[in-house]
Amino acid sequence: MEKEYLQVKGRIFDIQKYSIHDGPGIRTIVFLKGCPLRCKWCCNPESQEREIQTMFTAGKPKIIGRDVPVGEVMDEVMQDRFYYRRSGGGLTLSGGESLMQADFASALLQAAHAMGINTAMESTGFAPFRVIEEKILPHLDIYLMDIKHIDREKHKFFTGVSNELILENARKIAASGQNLVIRVPVIPGFNATESEILEIARFAASLPGVEQLHLLPYHRLGMDKYAGLGRDYSLSSVQPPSNEHMKKLMDTASVTGLRVRIGG
């Protein structure tokens, strides 16, 4: 009999193979559509709306978003099983925010485990903890959690939501014994000062079991997509941080005792 979780349907907008910066080994990222946050720097703006959209790329319209059952997604993910086996890689869920489709995300992770591959999820944890605890954690090997800022107001201004739930969930996820890695998108003008990064690093270091902090330098590679969606890109004047500055931030964050690195 066909396993039930293979039938669960959800909405994705991309599958990216040979991903090497999003968890251990060689991975395939499945991007789920829909996100409760509206980060101004988001490099995947087509991920934010839950609805299926049309985006123009290189002058041509492209439908963003499709509804697929887990079984179909896994067929595609498992095409690269040879690479997972050799590298200890597997499936990474990204988005959007996968927690917005928690049943679908749960079924994907469950299927991946049943097929013997490693699971990771890039998420900012913006959902009731019960959902994370019941649906996600039992099937997840690595939680790659975004913490963007400790300051509540600034967080709200740049992402559209307050950070209280996020920080609280981070504590609870850590307390559950989950393998948790904290990632920080480093955005000049938002959180790229030494004191702001240090504050995030201190918070991360206070979480039981957390050993790693990834600083992800801001890039503008998603900028064209805003135009493709008919939207303005408010950060167009922001320059990516220099290598030297990233290095300085890494050194600063390292005083917390965490293993800090630049990039995923």
Partner 1 sequence: MRHFYDGDIEKSPRIQRLIDHLYAKMPEIEADRAVLLTESYRSTEGEPIITRRAKAFQKICEELPIIIRPEELIVGSNSQAPRGCQVFPEYSYEWLEAEFDTVEKRSADPFYISEETKQRLRSVYPYWKGKTTSELATSYMTKETLTAMEHNIFTPGNYFYNGIGHFTVKYEEVLAIGFEGIAAKAKTALSVCKAGDADYARKSHFLNAVIICCNAAITYAHRYAMLALETAQKETNSQRKMELLKIAENCAQVPGKPARNFYEACQSFWFVQMLLQTESSGHSISPGRFDQYMYPYYEKDIKEGLITREKAQELLDCIWVKLNDLNKVRDAASAEGFAGYSLFQNLIVGGQTEEGEDATNDLSFMCLEAALHVMLPAPSLSIRVWNKTPDELLIKAAKVTRTGIGLPAYYNDEVIIPAMMSRGVTLEDARTYNIIGCVEPQKAGKTDGWHDAAFFNMCRPLEMVFFNGMEGGVQVGPRTGDVTQMKTFNEFYDAYKTQMNYFIELMVNADNAIDVAHAERCPLPFQSSMIDDCIGRGKSLQEGGAVYNFTGPQGFGIANVSDSLYAIKQLVFEEKKVTLAEWKEALADNYGRGFSKQQVESMTTQIVKNLADAGQPVGEREIAAVYQTVANQNISPEKKAKYDQLLEWIDQVPKYGNDIEEADKFARDVAYTYTKPLNQYRNPRGGIFQAGLYPVSANVPLGAQTGATPDGRLANTPIADGIGPASGRDTHGPTAAVNSVAKIDHGIASNGTLLNQKFHPSALSGVEGLQKFCAFIRAFFDQKGMHMQFNVVSRETLLDAQAHPDKYRNLVVRVAGYSALFTTLSKSLQDDIINRTMQGF
Q: Do residues 88 and 61 make contact, with C-beta atoms less than 8 angstroms apart?
A: no
Q: How far is the CB of 27 from partner 1 (least distance, A)?
A: 9
Closest CA to 98 of 149, 139, 63: 139
Q: How far is the CB of 67 from partner 1 (least distance, A)?
A: 21
Query: Which residues pair with residue 31 across a beta bridge?
Result: 14, 94
Q: How far is CA 213 from CA 28, 76, 85, in A?
A: 22, 31, 26
The correct pick among 130, 195, 221, 237 for binding partner 1 (CB under 8 A) is 221
Q: How many helices (H) and strands (E) does the chain have?
A: 9, 11
What's the rounded Cα separation, in Å, for the pair 238 and 246? 15
Q: If you ran DSSP here, which 8-state letter would residue 2 be given?
A: -
The strands making up 212-217's β-sheet, listed across from edge to edge, are: 66-69, 9-19, 27-32, 90-94, 118-123, 142-146, 180-186, 212-217, 259-262
The correct pick among 2, 58, 232, 237 for binding partner 1 (CB under 8 A) is 58
Q: With CB under 8 A as the rule, give the number of residues binding partner 1.
A: 32
Shorter beta-carbon distance to partner 1: residue 10 or 89: 89
Site mask for partner 1 (CB under 8 A), range 59-88, x = bound: --------------------xx-xx-xxx-
**150 lies in the site for partner 1, by CB under 8 A:** no
Shorter beta-carbon distance to partner 1: residue 22 or 196: 22
**What is the CA 74 to chain-centroid distance, rounded?**
19
The correct pick among 216, 248, 250, 254 for binding partner 1 (CB under 8 A) is 216
Q: Do residues 34 and 97 make contact, with C-beta atoms less than 8 angstroms apart?
A: yes
What's the rounded Cα separation, in Å, for the pair 170 and 79? 33
Shorter beta-carbon distance to partner 1: residue 87 or 254: 87
Shorter beta-carbon distance to partner 1: residue 206 or 242: 242
What's the rounded Cα separation, in Å, for the pair 64 and 69? 17
Q: How far is the CB of 4 from partner 1 (least distance, A)?
A: 26
Site mask for partner 1 (CB under 8 A), range 120-149, x = bound: ------------------------------
The correct pick among 16, 54, 162, 234 for binding partner 1 (CB under 8 A) is 16
Site mask for partner 1 (CB under 8 A), range 169-208, x = bound: ----------------------------------------
Positions in the binding site for partner 1 (CB under 8 A): 16-22, 25-26, 43, 57-58, 79-80, 82-83, 85-87, 89, 216-217, 219-224, 240, 243, 263-264
